[in-house]
């Protein structure tokens, strides 16, 4: 076909040449312009794996222009209308992490896997890829510009703190945050990015409800937790209306031994042998508290954006943290290769059901409530935990007689939790 086209074009050209040389030159020029336009058009409609969005940075095809939401335009594949950001796979990322333990001062020692001597580094070279849409990495400069004069708070337990540290590490590539507040135990903290007047807080509230907790920083308890299941924690409720973006989470603390109060009277408990109290179970308390949290949110007339993060899985194998459980895998797994524990399945079932009921009411009330469902993608990363490397060089001669406790719940920094910030940013951009 191409041969015939060329032959016909050649005959036409010689015919014109006999009559009018100038006309031929004009015709050839028009023809060449047509071929050039056709070539350009075919390239501009090609498929790209990463979809650009405001203040997200492109991780592939760096020569292509980036649509940053500030007027520059570029061709891209539009996301599917109902793209599920939380269904996908972890794919290789040769570029590796965006920061290191040397470049970020916000990493706590027990999440500093590289400094603590973890020998394998494969866990650093993966990124989350949703099945039906792109997920570029958060661009810290654009993010900070978009967050100018805004306030963020992540409210929950130590996983929320882990998450905040990841965000601070990524943003510190542009400007290092300044701590402006901490409570007595450094559990609730606040940082500010002065050039942008952007504030990020972590608010310690592991139950989201009012609770008296009698345990130290290492988790050693002297008394059952006293949990007021009908009263929300004022540590976050008093700040709530002044926050532009909020990420709530809870869950695992409800497994702990606790006495439950309602209307200032003992209602029952969870795992309190010898107390002669009704065993109500952690699921009873979790459902009650989540209902109260969501009712508060739905009726709040809040104008910002609110996320509820689902419970994160642990990856203990061959036991639990207290009896020799470990997490020694070096790569992500595929769906179906690792199962949630039965206890986390119960938490997840409560979260999804209560959120579904609240989301419908929130939509009617004009409150932006979104599910930040990191459970499935986090389940695929048994390689991302500190394990024995929550301790400094745990297998050195100096520690050969020390009793090691593996951490298969929190995440190494840098590590898989960094992708949570990409997902949050994408959700904010999508509205």
pLDDT, tens digit, for every residue of 356-367? 999 999 999 999
- Is 37 contained in some domain? yes
- Is 78 contained in some domain? no
- Is 79 contained in some domain? no
* Bridge pairing between strands 151-156 and 178-182: unpaired
Query: H or E element: which one contains 39?
Result: helix 21-44
How many domains does the chain divide into? 2
Helices (H), 51-154: 140-146
The mean of the pLDDT values for the chain is 85
* Bridge pairing between strands 368-372 and 305-309: parallel
Does residue 22 have a pLDDT over 90? Answer: no
Res 218: pLDDT: 66
In terms of Cα–Cα distance, which of 35, 65, 34 is closest to 50? 65
Question: Are residues 42 and 34 in contact, defined by beta-carbon separation less than 8 angstroms?
Answer: no
Name the band, by pLDDT with cuts 50, 70 and 90, for residue 78: very low
Same domain as 187, residue 97:
yes
Percent of the chain with pLDDT over 90: 74
Res 89: pLDDT: 97
Cα–Cα distance measured from residue 337 to residue 184, given in angstroms and rounded to the nearest whole number: 42
Does residue 47 have a pLDDT over 50? Answer: no
Same domain as 27, residue 153:
no
- Is 76 contained in some domain? no
Percent of the chain with pLDDT over 70: 80
Minimum mean pLDDT range among 38-52, 187-201, 277-291, 371-385:
38-52
Cα–Cα distance measured from residue 354 to residue 349, given in angstroms and rounded to the nearest whole number: 9
The CA-based diameter of the chain, rounded to the nearest angstrom, is: 111
Does residue 76 have a pLDDT over 90? Answer: no
Q: Quick check: bond before 50 cis, omega within 30?
A: no
Same domain as 169, residue 34:
no
- Is 261 contained in some domain? yes
- Is 144 contained in some domain? yes
Res 67: pLDDT: 32
Same domain as 149, residue 38:
no
- Is 60 contained in some domain? no
147, two tokens = 């967050």
Same domain as 186, residue 113:
yes
203: domain CATH number? 3.40.50.1110
pTM for the whole thing? 0.82
- Give the structural domain span for 12: 2-44
Question: Are residues 121 and 412 in contact, defined by beta-carbon separation less than 8 angstroms?
Answer: no
User: Which one has a higher pLDDT value, 64 or 368?
Assistant: 368
State mean pLDDT over 254-279: 96
Residues labelled catalytic? 158, 407, 410
- Is 75 contained in some domain? no
pLDDT tens readout for residues 370-418? 999 999 999 999 999 999 999 999 999 787 777 888 999 999 999 999 9
Same domain as 310, residue 194:
yes
Same domain as 127, residue 34:
no
pLDDT tens readout for residues 189-241? 999 999 999 999 999 999 999 999 998 766 778 899 999 999 999 999 999 99
Same domain as 331, residue 231:
yes
Same domain as 38, residue 132:
no
Same domain as 236, residue 380:
yes
In terms of Cα–Cα distance, which of 281, 249, 260, 265 is closest to 372? 249
Res 217: pLDDT: 66
Name the band, by pLDDT with cuts 50, 70 and 90, for residue 23: very low
Q: What angle do CA 321, 323, 327 make, to 5 degrees?
A: 45
In terms of Cα–Cα distance, which of 421, 416, 406 is closest to 331? 416
- Could you give phi then psi for residue 90, rounded to 5 degrees? -85, 125
Same domain as 102, residue 37:
no
How crowded is residue 400: how many other Cβ atoms within 10 Å of its Cβ? 8
Question: Are residues 285 and 267 in contact, defined by beta-carbon separation less than 8 angstroms?
Answer: no
Question: Are residues 409 and 111 in contact, defined by beta-carbon separation less than 8 angstroms?
Answer: no
Same domain as 377, residue 301:
yes
């Amino acid at each position: 076909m191409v041969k015939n086209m060329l032959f016909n074009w050649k005959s036409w050209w010689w015919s014109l040449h006999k009559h009018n040389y100038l006309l031929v030159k004009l015709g050839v020029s028009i023809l060449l312009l047509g071929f050039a336009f056709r070539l350009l058009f075919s390239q501009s409609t090609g498929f790209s794996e990463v979809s650009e969005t405001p203040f997200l940075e492109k991780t592939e095809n760096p020569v292509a222009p980036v649509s940053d939401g500030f007027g520059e335009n570029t061709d891209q594949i539009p996301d599917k209308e109902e793209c599920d950001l939380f269904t996908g796979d972890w794919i290789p990322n040769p570029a590796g992490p965006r920061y290191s333990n040397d470049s970020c001062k916000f990493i706590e020692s027990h999440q500093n896997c590289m400094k603590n001597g973890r020998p394998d580094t494969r866990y650093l070279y993966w990124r989350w890829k949703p099945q039906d849409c792109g997920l570029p990495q958060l661009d810290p400069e654009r993010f900070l510009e978009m967050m100018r004069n805004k306030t963020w708070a992540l409210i929950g337990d130590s996983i929320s703190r882990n998450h905040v540290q990841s965000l601070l590490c990524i943003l510190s590539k542009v400007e290092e945050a300044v701590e402006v507040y901490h409570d007595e135990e450094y559990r609730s903290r606040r940082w500010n990015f002065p050039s942008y007047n952007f504030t990020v807080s972590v608010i310690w509230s592991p139950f989201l409800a009012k609770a008296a907790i009698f345990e130290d920083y290492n988790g050693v308890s002297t008394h059952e937790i006293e949990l007021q299941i009908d009263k929300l924690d004022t540590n976050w409720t008093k700040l709530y209306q002044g926050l532009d973006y909020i990420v709530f989470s809870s869950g695992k603390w409800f497994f702990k031994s606790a006495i439950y109060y309602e209307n200032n009277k003992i209602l029952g408990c969870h795992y309190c042998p010898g107390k002669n109290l009704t065993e109500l179970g952690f699921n009873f308390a979790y459902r009650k508290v989540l209902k109260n949290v969501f009712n508060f949110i739905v009726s709040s007339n809040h104008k910002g954006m609110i996320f509820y993060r689902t419970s994160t899985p642990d990856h203990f194998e061959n036991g639990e943290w207290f009896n020799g459980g470990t997490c020694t895998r070096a790569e992500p797994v595929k769906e179906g290769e690792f199962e949630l524990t039965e206890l986390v399945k119960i938490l997840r079932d409560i979260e999804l059901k209560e959120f579904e009921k609240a989301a419908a009411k929130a939509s009617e009330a004009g409150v932006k409530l979104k599910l930040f469902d990191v459970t499935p993608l986090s389940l695929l990363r048994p390689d991302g935990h500190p394990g024995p490397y929550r301790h400094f060089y745990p297998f050195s001669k100096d520690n050969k007689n020390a009793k090691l406790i593996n951490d298969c719940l929190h995440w190494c920094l840098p590590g898989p939790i960094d992708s949570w910030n990409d997902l949050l940013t994408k959700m904010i951009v999508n509205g």
